[in-house]
Amino acid sequence: MTCKNMFNLRAWVKEFRLLFLIYVIVPVILGSIISYKYYPEDFSVPYFLLSIVAILLLHAGTIAYNDYFDFKSGADVINENRTPYTGGTGLLVDNVLKPSHVVIVGTVCFILCIIIGLYIVFARSIMVLPIGIAGVAMGIFYTAPPLKLSYHGAGELMWFLSTPLMALGALYVQKPVMSISELIGTYDAALAAVITTLPIAFLSSSGLLILEFPDHDADRAARKNNLIVLMGRKNFLYMFILVSLLSYISLMASVISGSVTVKALFTLVSVPVMILTVIGLIKFYMKPQSMVRYIELMSITIIIMSIAMIVALLF
């Protein structure tokens, strides 16, 4: 299929992987709910919607840059085990979109995100500035030079950190902070935002880890030294299981300590699907095409936990 029309809407829908875009709004929703619980008088629906738009633009830019730089490095070009969810979108490899178009659109997404962020900083809260700078830097340099974080074993950590960071950003969008004393006064709310999103952070990290298995051979050949290449598939499998367990351990610990309400245990409804995912991965982690079903189950697990956590916080 060859169609290098920049205005090919169907291609751009595939490029931005709309399902993955949905994932990034969850920490923003959680952070906003926590802000409302602590500071209901400050809550603003327009700023909430602005924060959603900003995070979608940030993630869209990250996805576009990731596709572009993985194509340029050859990681996606030489990938013989591409699945519907791994090995890039395939749009650049298959000549559906031009690399220049993808990097331009990605850059525009980042610029629009920065403009919205700066508006919020000057109109609402200066604390959004350092969080926004960190978020944009992580998005750009996840695959872009000179840092290329995902090529040096740091991409997975950045992905994990991005979840509580997004929740904190959403919190400070809603709670104006213009001084050190005001920042100190938000300690309890900020701690709640981090603790509440830890289970989601671990589980979404597992979602990233499972996507690395089918790409192992291509990433190694392209010298994309992410954790699966550095650790090897079997050790990485153990890491996947550990990170998945930490999601539920952190949930239980936060409930036992009283940091979050017992209603958060509602998220345990995701456990059966998670167990099926782990069993399938243990069986097929060396067979990329057989992993597709379990990648889908992992996505379902993340969605179930995310919805359950939102419901638990709301009610």
- Give the DSSP letter string of 50-118: HHHHHHHHHHHHHHHHHHHHHHHHTTTTS-SS-BTTBS--STTTTTSS-HHHHHHHHHHHHHHHHHHHH
Residue 200: pLDDT over 80: yes
Average pLDDT over residues 63-86: 95
Confidence of residue 258 (pLDDT cuts 50, 70, 90): confident
Q: Could you give the CA distance from residue 173 to residue 127 in angstroms, rounded to a whole number?
A: 8
Residue 294 has pLDDT above 90, yes or no: yes
Cα atoms in the 13 Å half-sphere on the side-chain side of 288 = 17
Q: Is 258 left (phi over 0), alpha (psi -120 to 50) or beta?
A: left
| Domain definitions of the chain by residue range | 9-314
What is the residue-wise DSSP string for 125-169? -TTHHHHHHHHHHHHHTTTSTTT-GGGTT-HHHHHHHHHHHHHHH
Tokens of 285: 């982690």
Q: Is the pLDDT of residue 2 over 60?
A: no
How far apart (Å, rounded) are the C-alpha atoms in residues 39 and 86? 41
- Report the distance separating Cα 105 and Cα 65, nearest Å: 9
Grade residue 260 by pLDDT with cuts at 50, 70 and 90.
Answer: confident
User: Dihedrals φ, ψ of 260, to 5°?
Assistant: -130, 155
Q: Are 207 and 154 in contact (CB under 8 A)?
A: no
Phi and psi dihedrals of 86, rounded to 5?
-135, 170
Contact 294, 280 (CB under 8 A): yes
Q: CA 103: distance to chain centroid?
A: 20
Q: How confident is the model at residue 1 (pLDDT cuts 50, 70, 90)?
A: very low
Dihedral through CA 40, CA 45, CA 51, CA 53, nearest 10? 160
pLDDT band at 257 (very low <50, low <70, confident <90, very high): confident
* Confidence category of residue 3, pLDDT binned at 50, 70, 90: low
What would the mean pLDDT of 147-155 be, rounded to a whole number?
A: 97
In this prediction, what percent of the chain has a pLDDT beyond 90?
90
- Give, in degrees to the nearest 5, the angle at Cα 62 between 97 and 271: 110
pTM of the model: 0.95
